[in-house]
Amino acid sequence: MSISAGTFSFVADLVRRCSAIELTEGKEYLVESRLLPLVRQADLAGVDEYVDTLRRVPHCAEHDRVVDALTTNETSWFRDFSPFQALTGHVVPTLLARRPNATSLRVWSAACSSGQEPYSIAMACQQVVPDLRVDITATDISAEMLARGRAGRYSQVEINRGLPAGMLVEHFARAGTQWALSEQIRGRVTFSQHNLLDPPPSAGPFDIIFLRNVLIYFDLATRADVLRRVRSVLRPGGFLLLGATESTIGIEDTWEHLAIGRGFVYQVNPSGVL
Amino acid sequence: MSLLGAVGAQQVAQIAQEFFAAMIDREPGLLTSWSHGPVTVTDPMHAWVGLGTVPASRLQLTTSADTAGALTRALLSKGEAEPVADDDVVDALGEIANVLGGNVKALLAEHAGITLPEVSRQLPPGRGGVGAGEALFAWRGRPLVISLYTL
Amino acid sequence: MRALVIDDSTTMRAIVSEMLGGLGFDTAQAGDGREALDLLESGQRFDLACVDWNMPVMDGLEFVAAVRARRQWPYLTLMMVTTEGERGQIVRALAAGAHEYVIKPFTPDALASKLVLLGLLPVRELR
């Protein structure tokens, strides 16, 4: 199966406009492979047909999913930014208001890739609640990603992606051609291997769970499964954060969502079925 | 020991490869160590920046004029057949030397300044041709020499 | 949104302008800090300045300091785009009043991600 030139140029144009990333000629295979999960989700025959449906409607969440699917290999610090604003501006203050004597918060960064997400969480918390112990469990299915996360060293190109300059100078030091994260921040994150289809990590229950940009890879039934597992290790009153274009709506109805800034945070509906 | 020896040829290679992957090729793997025997750069162009080390040093980039044109097109996202003005090539090659030089100098123990890039068909004063202190690369099969030396 | 791209390299100015253009910015260019300051003083309004450090006549650090000292353009976001990558240099630039810092080499999505941080670019928007 291969995609039409018209399909490719539509997608390339969309991706360029939303992310500045250039999909040059020759990347048709990438468009095809990255969009196939979405095609399956939409229950359509192929990528051309799927993209045709996008042409007919104004920009919406589905267009964003396409952009996401094609840019997900670009791991970023503080990805999408607004979830981290939600973290420091709403989630953490709400949790602490409920439990003023809390001495620690537990966070799970699921599908943490090379570590930018859990470390971003650590840096964000360091900024707003420096005296609070924040234990971050970072899991991923890939041993290679976990090794990179544990090392806490990033290239110059990686460091440019989404990391505020102020955070760079505060938490990093040059290490040859790379930048190394401080021991203080690294010490807050524990990396371990985990498959989301398996029982959740034993380091729970968690106050906050980041499950960002990974549900997209699963079919609807599996997404519901994963969300149920995640829910089982979320403390009452705890928060779930998903990717910018993701939602629990239509997948699992025991969640309620709250709009914070440009995104949403999710909590278990207290009156819902558990 | 040459400045290149002190800084480390491997680190220079890392810098160059990251730069090329990010801004010139937009994919990794097209800048590799030269492994095709002795290097001969025909119709060479040289671009260099001075580093304010003590004593002063220089990062120099040497490649053929043809390759310089190809590099310019790649940087500017132009097609292989698109024309580029001589001024554009001079500027582009100088900027490549600038980016390489700036990143190399960040590896040094002491902060050093950097001069504005110069580009010429003639070798800069105080330097000979291919010799010690060079990192040799193949970019899309074409030779590219990055040398680092004290003045 | 209007951006001023300040760099003594025509190549780099073209690259950055192209990237910003793709993200929906109108762009203007200047070859050094002095030229850039002249443009600002002529009354042209910019939301963003991408500032190289090492330039003739007036370098990027001087430009940033001059802009902040004048206080005339409080809505102008100043982002360094430079090869100066030592931690000490970044500290100096931020202290002089730069809002953000991109080290060359960079990818277009890195530039975009910095603009998201600065609130100059919505996370996702059709243009």
CATH of the domain at C40: 3.40.50.2300
Predicted local distance difference test score (pLDDT) of residue C127: 25
In this prediction, residues C78-83 reach a mean pLDDT of 98
B22 contact residues in A (CB cutoff 8 A): 157
Is the model more confident about B129 or about C73?
C73
Of A145, A243, A134, the closest CA to residue A193 belongs to A145
- Same domain for A139 and A67: no
Residue pointed to by tokens 């039934």:
A221
- Same domain for A163 and A200: yes
pLDDT at C125 > cutoff 60: no
pLDDT at A1 > cutoff 60: no
Q: Which are the contacts of A166, defined by CB distance < 8 A and separation ≥ 6?
A: C94
pLDDT at B4 > cutoff 80: no
Predicted local distance difference test score (pLDDT) of residue A229: 95
- Same domain for A24 and A87: no
Q: Which are the contacts of A173, defined by CB distance < 8 A and separation ≥ 6?
A: A179, A180, A182, C87
CATH of the domain at A32: 1.10.155.10
Range of the domain at C111: 2-117
Predicted local distance difference test score (pLDDT) of residue C24: 87
User: Which of these is catalytic: A68, A140, A148, A231?
Assistant: A140
- Residue A76 located in a structural domain: no
Predicted local distance difference test score (pLDDT) of residue A37: 76
- Quote the CA–CA distance of A211 and A240 in Å, as a whole number: 7
- Residue A77 located in a structural domain: no
B94 contact residues in C (CB cutoff 8 A): 9
Q: Do C82 and B76 touch (CB under 8 A)?
A: no
- Same domain for A87 and A56: no
Work out the mean pLDDT of chain A and round it to a whole number: 89
- Same domain for A90 and A60: no
Give pLDDT tens digits for A198-251. 999 999 899 999 999 888 777 788 889 999 999 999 999 999 999 877 888 878
CATH of the domain at A100: 3.40.50.150
Question: Which range, of B36-40, B49-53, C11-15, C69-73, averages the lowest pLDDT?
Answer: B36-40
pLDDT at A273 > cutoff 50: no
Share of chain A above pLDDT 90, in %: 60
- Residue C125 located in a structural domain: no
pLDDT at A73 > cutoff 70: no
Q: Which are the contacts of A21, defined by CB distance < 8 A and separation ≥ 6?
A: A15, A70, A71, A74, C107, C108, C109
- Residue A94 located in a structural domain: yes
In this prediction, residues B106-119 reach a mean pLDDT of 92
**Going along A111-245, which residue ranges are E strands?**
133-140, 153-155, 172-175, 178-181, 189-193, 206-211, 234-242
- Quote the CA–CA distance of A68 and A18 in Å, as a whole number: 10
Range of the domain at B103: 3-150
Domain closes at, from A48, A71, A94? A71
Tokens read off for A26? 């020759």
Number of domains making up chain B: 1
pLDDT at A274 > cutoff 50: no
CATH of the domain at B104: 3.40.1550.10
- Same domain for A164 and A31: no
Q: What is the ipTM score, two decimals?
A: 0.93
| C-interface mutation test, from A14, A22, A168, A169, most C Cβ less than 10 A away | A169
Say if A172 is an interface residue toward chain C (CB within 8 Å).
yes
Tokens read off for C100? 């953000």
CA distances from B7 to A213, B111, B134 (A): 40, 14, 12
* Smallest CA–CA distance from C10 into chain B, residue: B91
Give pLDDT tens digits for A144-184. 999 999 999 999 989 999 999 999 999 999 999 999 999 99
Tokens read off for A214? 């990974």
Pairing verdict, β A206-211 and A255-260: unpaired
In this prediction, residues B28-44 reach a mean pLDDT of 91
Chains in contact with chain B (at least 3 beta-carbon pairs closer than 8 A) = A, C
Is the model more confident about A222 or about A96?
A96
Is the model more confident about B129 or about A237?
A237
Do the beta carbons of residue B115 and residue B102 sit within 8 Å?
no
Domain closes at, from A39, A71, A103? A71
A140 labelled catalytic: yes
Element housing C30 (H / E): strand C26-30
Question: Which range, of A67-81, C45-59, C105-119, averages the lowest pLDDT?
Answer: A67-81
- Quote the CA–CA distance of B7 and B101 in Å, as a whole number: 12
- Same domain for A100 and A217: yes
Domain closes at, from A22, A51, A71? A71
Please give the biggest Cα pair distance in chain A: 60
**pLDDT-based confidence at residue C126 (cuts at 50, 70, 90):** very low
Q: How far is C54 from chain B (nearest CA, A)?
A: 7
Is the model more confident about B134 or about B122?
B122
- Residue A274 located in a structural domain: no
Say if C116 is an interface residue toward chain A (CB within 8 Å).
yes
- Residue A260 located in a structural domain: yes
Share of chain B above pLDDT 90, in %: 70
- Quote the CA–CA distance of A55 and B23 in Å, as a whole number: 31
- Residue C126 located in a structural domain: no
Give pLDDT tens digits for A250-263. 788 889 999 888 78
Give pLDDT tens digits for B134-144. 889 999 999 99
- Residue C123 located in a structural domain: no
C50 three-class SS: strand
C88 contact residues in B (CB cutoff 8 A): 111
Helices (H), ranges, A99-162? 116-128, 143-151, 156-159
Range of the domain at A13: 5-71
- Same domain for A251 and A167: yes
pTM listed for this prediction: 0.86
Do the beta carbons of residue A210 and residue A124 sit within 8 Å?
no
Number of domains making up chain C: 1
Number of domains making up chain A: 2
C102 contact residues in A (CB cutoff 8 A): 160
* Type of residue numbered C32: D
Q: Do A164 and C100 touch (CB under 8 A)?
A: yes
**pLDDT-based confidence at residue C15 (cuts at 50, 70, 90):** very high
Work out the mean pLDDT of chain B and round it to a whole number: 91
Predicted local distance difference test score (pLDDT) of residue A243: 86
